[in-house]
Amino acid sequence: MKDRIANFSAGPAVLPEEVLREAQKELFNYKGLGLSVMEMSHRSKAYQEIIDDAMNRAKRIMNLGDNYDVLFLGGGASLQFLMVPMNLCPEGKVGNYINTGTWSNTAIKEIKKIGKQCHVAATSEDTNFSFIPKEFKLSENPAYLHYTTNNTISGTEFKYIPEVGDLPLIADMSSNFLSKPMDYAKHALIYAGAQKNIGPAGVTMVVIRKDMQEKFNTGLPTMLSYKTHIDKGSMFNTPPCFPIYMVGLVLKWIEDMGGLAAVEKHNIEKAGLIYNVIDNSEFYRSPVNTEDRSLMNIVFRLPSEDLEKKFVAEAAENGMSNLKGHRSVGGCRASTYNALPMTACQQLAEFMVEFEKNNK
């Protein structure tokens, strides 16, 4: 589409064109009701249908049964760094974490801030998070194991689900949520900020297995307690109504595409175009372990920082935006989330080859 850029933003990120068009169509007058979703009471029948539909689609896509609740909360994935230990790490038990990057690290800092015990079960910090640990060592009395399925900044992704037996497994899936089929049911709790793969910023999806309710700490502030939101169907207070509606449209788009198997196939092809250029070049370099690299956030370096600057600027002039790496690590990063069209990756791959020729 001529009037849309190739948007490689790490988040908030590109949304499916079909979803934007549908939202545009329904924006002014939702299904003939004479008002927009933004103007509707969250207690109305029409809105209840919207949120129920989104919850049901989410469970269907992940192949989860009625033993899971789906919540839509505010506060970003960052609030979950706090809510997880607050609700699920009791006195005398230890929150276990695999540290694979900035966001895992932030989760670890948060549990420590509330004075709970924390154990780092594995880490790749020594190598600047260039790989995914394949083994981990749990503490005595673990409350749960928390891991980050995809590392948005360092560009690595878990290709396996940690095996923890009966111990609750908790995953921050913010940056690769619903990008591929996986055994979602191996998790006791999953959370993901919407703004990368499933919608606009402002809502976080939390998926909780029902048996976790027996483990919830009690006496928590109302808004920080999962129980509050489960009991009220994410409607204890006014939820982020419009973002939830958008998530529903994205979930419908995923189902219409053929579900997660089709989504993954598309993602492998898209990322492959760019990794292929990197692998066949002595100009571009990937700083991460080949087998651990992410399908969602492709990080790469050029021979110098000056060339990286030039690359990002020239790409932008050619309609490819947001290719600068995260400010904490530098380099370049192309985020290739579900909604990014194949044509954007083709365009970038061709541009990379051309840029290398002109700047070698």
Give the shortest CB-105-to-ligand PMP separation in angstroms: 10
Burial class (CB in 10 A: 0-12, 13-18, 19+), 130: middle
Q: CB under 6 A: which stretch of 85-93, 137-145, 170-178, 272-280 binds ligand PMP? A: 170-178
110, 172, 292, 308: which one contacts ligand PMP (CB under 6 A)?
172
User: Cβ distance 186 to 162 under 8 Å?
Assistant: no
User: What sign has the CA pseudo-torsion 156, 157, 163, 167?
Assistant: positive
Q: Known catalytic residue: 196?
A: yes
175, 234, 336, 338: which one contacts ligand PMP (CB under 6 A)?
175
Q: Known catalytic residue: 103?
A: yes
Instruction: Tell me if 105 contacts ligand PMP by CB under 6 A.
Output: no
Instruction: Tell me if 193 contacts ligand PMP by CB under 6 A.
Output: yes
For the segment 78-97, give every residue that binds ligand PMP (CB under 6 A): 78
Specify the 3-state DSSP secondary structure of 57. Answer: helix
Which one is catalytic: 59, 116, 172, 253?
172
Q: Which tokens belong to 71?
A: 């919540």
∠ at Cα 354 (350, 355), nearest 5°? Answer: 115
Residue whose tokens read 């207690």:
43
Q: Known catalytic residue: 172?
A: yes
Give the shortest CB-191-to-ligand PMP separation in angstroms: 9
**Burial readout 256-273 (b: 16 or more C-beta within 10 A, e: otherwise):** ebeebeebbebbeebbeb
Give the shortest CB-117-to-ligand PMP separation in angstroms: 22
Q: Which of 221, 214, 134 is nearest to 168 (CA)?
A: 214
Give the total of residues touching ligand PMP (CB under 6 A).
11
Residues that bind ligand PMP (CB under 6 A): 11, 76-78, 103, 148, 152, 172, 174-175, 193
Active-site residues: which are they? 103, 172, 196
